[in-house]
Amino acid sequence: MPKEDPKIVELQKMREISYLGGGEDRIAKQKEKGKLTARERIGALLDKGSFQELNGMMLNRHTDFGLDKGKISGDGMIAGFGKINGRKVCVYAQDFTVMGGSFGEVAGQKVARLMDLAMDAGVPVIAINDGGGARIQEGVFSLFAFGEVFYRNVLASGVIPQICIIMGPCAGGAVYSPALTDFVVMTQGISNMFITGPEVIKAVTHEVVDAETLGGATTHSSISGVAHLVGQTEAETFAIVKKILEYIPDNNASTPTPIATNDSPFRADKALDSLVPSNPNQTYNILDAINRVVDKDSFFEIHARYATNAVVGFARLNGESIGIAANQPASMAGVLDINASDKIARFVRFCDAFNIPLVTFVDTPGFMPGSVTEHNGIIRHGAKIIFAFSEASVPKISVVTRKAYGGAYIVMGSKHLHADLAFAWPTAEIAVMGAEGAVNILYGRDLKQKPPEEAQKMRGELVEEYKTKFSNPYRAAAAGYVDEVILPSETRQRLISALEVLRNKQSLAPAKKHGNIPL
């Protein structure tokens, strides 16, 4: 048997050492926390045997604070490409066993190189974050590293999908790369994100707060809105990422891949015809409407815990991927507030960037009133929805299910913002405002001059008169602002037919560098 070439042996030995990262002791500590190693995570996310590492032997060039001793190949960042369910992706992961996953110059160079490759190849890029932020020992070089990545996050935005998985600490400057990506997925119990940690906050502001309350998965998925989705385990987190990829294309020059479905495009769910209560003050769940219209079990909600008065997510109609934005009457009556406005606008812009048609379900009494809302900029935030829907060039179809009042009706993908098609259910109320409010404004002075009993009777008659005239979809249909009033049970067939005719939609916009969205 021929003797193995010493150079081959040397390379294999170097790889073995590199694969151990920070060493067996630190790997054991990672396991004690219930966390996989960076390489195990890549192996769990990608198709078996598909990962191809790049720049695995890079070493940092710094010597301060003992950095010249015990250098580790790859320097705590694993980067490369592979496949997820046969689809090509680029992926990188911080190795917490190497200097706590701190982000240094080498990490920045490797990630920047990988993102350049992803953009050239037109494939999604996935980040797995588990590190303590900038490597302090490298000073400005670690800040340079972050800047290189941030810059590429922006260049890649709207060109290739970017997904960031948080599976450990993510602090300081490290949080801004995830914030620039399309989807942030956190893992319950082991992930945190914050600009400054609890100890610094205590020293500066004297506030006492623990890491989980400050920046855990629950906080960021329900209060701040930084996280779009949360997995209860690492395995569930990877499953979420794989599901996102099912609905989105590889890049902005392609479209999502259709899938075969056994759900008939002609299916008419009669339960929809009685879903909206006859009493406008009674609520219902818009998810019941969405799930009965789209392909069975296809709706995948995004940002489900955040701004629950709005619903956004992906679904399929006759196997084709679509984006859905909706008001949720079961939460705050579906009113549009600051967080709901941001949530809808951001999702609409993602769908438009990646050629995913938009379907809007409208049931909103208006924008949230009040001094707190005004002082926090509801005007500016509400304008983001107008900008997003107006800017979107993908097929846009709206369905008014019930209340569609005032400015909130306009911004929710109406014909006035050039939706391609607008449908309304017979239960739709398209008006400037509800009947009670309208009567108070139109007849308030007259009613005050009447005796109480007479005023009450007159008010009731005027409310009914206003409802008859305005609280219906027919005036809007007569004006052409609604293309068709449809039975709720017809919605699925109507949407599928509409998307088929709009499949090759062409849209022209004025030549410009870019618009100035009201941030």
pLDDT number for residue 20: 84
Which two tokens mark 15? 């790889």
3-state secondary structure 321-362: EEEEEEECCCCHHHCECHHHHHHHHHHHHHHHHCCCCEEEEE
**pLDDT score of 444:** 81
Distances (CA, A) of 494 to 146, 267, 319, 479: 48, 11, 15, 21
Strands 320-327 and 310-317: antiparallel
Active site residue 172: yes
Q: What is the pLDDT of residue 106?
A: 92
Burial 61-81 (b: 16+ CB within 10 A, else e): ebeeeebeeeebbbbbbbbbb
173 assigned to active site: yes
The question of whether 56 is a catalytic residue gets the answer no
What does pTM read for this prediction?
A: 0.94
Give the closest residue to 401 by CA, choosing from 365, 441, 439, 351. 365
Q: How many helices (H) and strands (E) does the chain have?
A: 19, 17
Tokens found for residue 30: 């990672």
DSSP-assigned beta bridge partners for residue 53: 80
Q: Annotated catalytic residue: which of 145, 408, 422, 477?
A: 408
The SS3 of residue 307 is coil
Looking up tokens 């008001």 gives 327
Per-residue pLDDT of the chain (519 residues; tens, 9 = 90+): 677 888 999 888 888 888 888 888 899 999 999 899 999 999 999 999 999 999 988 888 887 887 878 788 888 899 999 999 999 999 999 999 998 888 999 999 999 999 999 999 999 999 999 998 888 888 898 899 999 999 999 999 999 999 999 999 999 889 999 999 999 999 999 999 999 999 999 999 999 999 999 999 999 999 999 999 999 999 999 999 999 999 999 999 999 999 999 999 999 999 999 999 988 889 999 999 999 999 999 999 999 999 999 999 999 999 999 999 999 999 999 999 999 999 999 999 999 999 999 999 999 999 999 999 999 999 999 999 999 999 999 999 999 999 999 999 999 999 999 999 999 999 999 998 888 888 888 888 888 888 888 788 888 888 888 888 888 999 999 999 999 999 999 999 999 999 999 999 988 889 999 999 999
Q: Where are the beta strands (DSSP E) in 234-297?
A: none
Catalytic residue among 43, 158, 319, 407: 407
What domains sit in the chain, N to C, each tagged with a CATH number? Answer: 6-247 (3.90.226.10), 270-433+472-501 (3.90.226.10), 435-470 (no CATH)
Angle, CA 446 vertex, CA 442 and CA 452 arms, to 5°: 120
Residue 1: per-residue pLDDT: 62
What's residue 435's pLDDT? 83
Structure-token match 């009674």, residue found: 282
pLDDT of residue 139: 86
Q: Catalytic residue among 147, 173, 189, 406, which?
A: 173
227 in active site: no
